[in-house]
Structure 1
């Protein structure tokens, strides 16, 4: 099940992944603006996705996080597929580090193609940009 989620749940998952609650304000803003969706299983949050439309007026997914203990169970795909169904634009972009092989596979399985890269964000680990056009999809 996909639904809006509360701040404490999002911060707890993010803290488990990155070891800090430093993005709490970022998450609060995304939740307040209805740009954060979560995937729930048995009344517990398994992961969340944040989106915006600040990337050249296209949809951009800057963050998809699934609890480490719940990865490889289809939750990231559920989040992406739900977002595709509600996306405010027909062009959707996202990105991941070159080293994140699992996320590359998630994007490919969900119909995204590589669209470029950005150097110098994380030293020695370029950010790979992914793209999907949903204009002609039904």
Structure 2
């Protein structure tokens, strides 16, 4: 059965395996470890397998901001991102939750739309020629 829970440090290596599978390196190692230690990392797991993870912070105008949603390529389109978002909404320390994705990332835009997020703005000049769309949802 697939569940979402807060990650603990024992999950770190499996989370890193998923992240490395997606981005091809371990450059976010310290960032992920810090998020776990702060209690800001949520995992989607099926039995002992971690299929995806979400990281958030509360530094975006004192609102929760989902900074990263990563799902193993072989586990995509199976409800993992939605499960992570639902759990995040249930535990969010703020009533307003924001996130973002590039205009070119239509798959993530569909995930946000399917989970009740609305577009809240655009930030230019982060990635050349690929604006960042900000999304918002209230608890």
Match of 2:58 among 53, 60, 80: 53
In structure 1, list runs of 5 or more residues that go unmatched. Answer: none
CA deviation vs aligned residue, 1:47-95 (integer Å, no higher than 9, x gap): 0000110000000000000001110001000000011011100000000
Q: Which runs of 5+ in 2 are unaligned?
A: none
- Is 1:3–2:5 an aligned residue pair? yes
The aligned residue for residue 81 of structure 2 is: 76
Name which of 92, 97, 103 aligns with 1:98. 103
2: distance between equivalents of 1:8 and 1:121? 30
- Write the distance in 1 (CA, Å) between the matches of 2:112 and 2:104: 14
TM-score scaled by length of structure 1: 0.94
| Equivalent position of 1:12 in the other structure | 17
Give the root-mean-square deviation of aligned CA atoms: 0.8
- The CA deviation at 1:43 is 1.5
SS at match of 2:126: coil
TM-score scaled by structure 2? 0.93
Stretches of 4+ aligned residues off by more than 4 angstroms: none
Q: Does 1:35 align with 2:40?
A: yes
What is the number of residues matched between the two proteins?
134
The separation in 1 between residues aligned to 2:13 and 2:59, in whole angstroms, is 25
